[in-house]
Structure 1
């Protein structure tokens, strides 16, 4: 995955669990039981519940409350996501569709 870092320099991430975390928020949904769900696809790295993520579009850092796999209307809570996984995150307040989420470091 090609991109640009905060200094305007070319950056590249390979689809691997060994790379720093990066993901795309592709859908938002309101759930009456858990609140806002942010659906993400992980492009690199590992995300664990409780981890902090950085949103470079908004310039804000947020914490992941819970991670759930969705199957129709059924939810299955998991502790982590790896490269290629698609799931919903609970606890993100200032994320919109199309935002990139990265490792805060």
Structure 2
């Protein structure tokens, strides 16, 4: 279960997310869509614990997004997979 309660995120004085709330039940399939600049990447970064929210609360399976236990069980596949170009195969394997 993912619970997002009234989260906001401000970066350099600009409000990127404002009062966002939703729940996603276990087993649900969700699509996050919107125009460029709508805050999709910022929201995902907050859900993943990569960005700290400015206000509100995020709980994923009873854990905070920055919980190491949660991070150990989450995988993300971005639309574009950008890798350093000059990695050797053994370095690329270690990267993942």
Query: Do both proteins adopt the same fold according to a TM-score greater than 0.5, normalized to the shorter chain?
Result: no
TM-score by length of 1: 0.24
Greater RCO, CA 8 A, separation 6+: 1
More helix by share: 2
